[in-house]
């Protein structure tokens, strides 16, 4: 009848940290399991830390890594809950317990925003948005994962693009996305690519055919140039920034480059963060090469120091920056470390998103 966490014998909820105890209470049956485990003569459980304990209890009891907070309409990993500070976690506990006071209600939106959490209402709004765009019944959305739902919901929080505010252009972008995409995540990439290309080329003076031709040209030109930018280092599951940084440095020292999670993401990054308009041939090749060389140079010279865990508790985003450049690394559930963004910092961007010395 032993439960050992980080080499400490746990004899009840009081043996856990305040955050660990609150997070365990969010798991349906979690507290009851712990009480059983410390009292059952045959029970023997040893885990590395409280994160491992929460993940194991959630998966063991419910065969899913995410727990449901039904009152809040929120589904997330209890490991993610453990990353919240005690005050925010207490607020969530009060709200889930039925506290409808104005104080608690006022705090929830900030917690959701700070922690990048999407509720059931957010996910439903994302699906409703697909319907409004005229693509809700597209075949690409027939088997969506939790991550897919989060990505689709995030379309409602696009950057401040002139083209993103037009319902007409949004529907054009959605139609383009379902034509190009073979997965929901790729749809999101192509949707954004269309809007960035439209904003870059000047939507008011272009026809729909011209906008579509411009977006198609970007995809057909850039995708073949990015086939060699899809490899990436791997780590053992969800690890901290220092482990990710070491894996990236070792990878780069072997002469390899940290690539994109998928081809469509690479196209989006080039369109979003470079001066690409409608370049083809050698001009496009040089532009792509400059972007990749610049991004790898940043990753080689700077180290990620902080990370934001995803709602799934199995992924995270890590920021890397210097005085004038910034990048994001994404650590996926399978341990893949990919580059999800590289650009000059806003104050440095000016009229040129990325201006780097092109390779010879």
pLDDT digits (tens, 9 = 90+) for 268-288: 999 999 999 999 999 999 999
In the structure encoding, which two tokens stand for residue 100, read together?
């409808």
**How far apart (Å, rounded) are the C-alpha atoms in residues 339 and 230?**
10
Q: What is the pLDDT of residue 246?
A: 93
Q: What is the pLDDT of residue 359?
A: 34
Share of the chain above pLDDT 70, in %: 93
pLDDT tens readout for residues 30-79: 999 999 999 998 989 999 999 999 999 999 999 999 999 999 999 999 99
Q: CA 218, 221, 224: angle at the middle one, nearest 5?
A: 130
Checking if the pLDDT of 348 tops 70, the result is no
| Contact assessment for residue 322 and residue 301, using Cβ atoms and an 8 Å cutoff | yes
Q: What are phi and psi of 41, to 5 degrees?
A: -60, -30
Across 192-221, average pLDDT:
88
pLDDT band at 95 (very low <50, low <70, confident <90, very high): very high
Share of the chain above pLDDT 90, in %: 84
Checking if the pLDDT of 238 tops 90, the result is no
Q: What is the pLDDT of residue 203?
A: 57
Residues in contact with 326: Cβ distance below 8 Å, sequence separation at least 6, in sequence order: 298, 319, 320, 341, 342, 343, 344, 345
Across 16-34, average pLDDT:
96
Across 346-353, average pLDDT:
50
Q: What is the pLDDT of residue 159?
A: 67
Among 133, 141, 127, 137, residue whose Cα is nearest residue 183: 141
| Contact assessment for residue 341 and residue 318, using Cβ atoms and an 8 Å cutoff | no
Q: What is the pLDDT of residue 177?
A: 98
Q: What is the pLDDT of residue 267?
A: 98
Lowest model confidence (mean pLDDT) among 91-95, 100-104, 323-327: 323-327
Total residue length of the chain? 360
Residues in contact with 274: Cβ distance below 8 Å, sequence separation at least 6, in sequence order: 287, 290, 291, 353, 354
Checking if the pLDDT of 144 tops 70, the result is yes
Q: Are strands 44-47 and 2-5 parallel, antiparallel or unpaired?
A: parallel
**How far apart (Å, rounded) are the C-alpha atoms in residues 61 and 65?**
10
Q: What is the pLDDT of residue 199?
A: 87
In the structure encoding, which two tokens stand for residue 246, read together?
């070491």
pLDDT band at 182 (very low <50, low <70, confident <90, very high): very high
| Contact assessment for residue 248 and residue 327, using Cβ atoms and an 8 Å cutoff | no
Residues in contact with 71: Cβ distance below 8 Å, sequence separation at least 6, in sequence order: 95, 96, 97, 98
Q: What is the pLDDT of residue 349?
A: 47
Q: What is the pLDDT of residue 345?
A: 83
Q: What is the mean pLDDT of the chain?
A: 91
Q: What is the pLDDT of residue 358?
A: 36
Ordered by start, the domain boundaries in the chain are: 2-115, 119-222, 226-360
């Amino acid at each position: 009848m032993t439960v050992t966490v980080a080499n400490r014998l746990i004899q009840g909820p009081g043996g856990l940290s305040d955050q660990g105890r609150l997070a365990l209470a969010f798991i349906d049956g979690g507290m009851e399991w712990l009480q059983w485990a410390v009292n059952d003569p045959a029970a023997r459980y040893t885990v590395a830390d409280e994160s491992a304990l929460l993940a194991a209890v959630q998966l063991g009891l419910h065969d899913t890594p995410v727990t449901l907070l039904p009152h809040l309409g929120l589904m997330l990993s209890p490991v993610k809950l453990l990353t919240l500070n005690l005050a925010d976690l207490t607020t969530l506990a009060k709200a889930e317990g039925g506290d409808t006071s104005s104080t608690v209600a006022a705090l929830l939106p900030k917690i959701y925003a700070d922690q990048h959490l999407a509720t059931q209402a957010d996910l439903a709004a994302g699906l409703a948005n697909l319907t409004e765009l005229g693509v809700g019944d597209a075949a690409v959305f027939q088997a969506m994962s939790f991550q897919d739902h989060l990505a689709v919901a995030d379309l409602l929080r696009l950057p401040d693009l002139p083209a993103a505010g037009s319902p007409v252009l949004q529907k054009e972008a959605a139609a383009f996305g379902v034509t190009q995409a073979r997965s929901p995540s790729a749809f999101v990439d192509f949707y954004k690519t269309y809007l960035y290309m439209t904003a870059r080329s000047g939507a008011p003076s272009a026809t729909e055919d011209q906008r579509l031709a411009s977006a198609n040209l970007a995809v057909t030109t850039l995708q073949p140039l990015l086939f060699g930018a899809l490899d990436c280092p791997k780590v053992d599951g969800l690890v901290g920034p220092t482990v990710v940084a070491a894996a990236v440095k070792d990878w780069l020292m072997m002469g390899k480059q940290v690539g994109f999670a998928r081809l469509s993401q690479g196209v989006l990054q080039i369109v979003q963060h470079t001066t690409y308009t409608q370049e083809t041939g050698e001009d496009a090749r040089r532009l792509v090469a400059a972007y990749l060389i610049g991004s790898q140079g940043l990753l080689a010279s700077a180290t990620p120091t902080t990370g934001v865990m995803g709602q799934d508790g199995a992924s995270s985003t890590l920021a890397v920056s210097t005085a004038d450049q910034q990048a994001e690394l994404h650590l996926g559930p399978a341990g893949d470390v990919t580059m999800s963004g590289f650009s000059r910092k806003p104050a440095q961007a000016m009229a040129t998103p990325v201006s780097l010395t092109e390779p010879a």
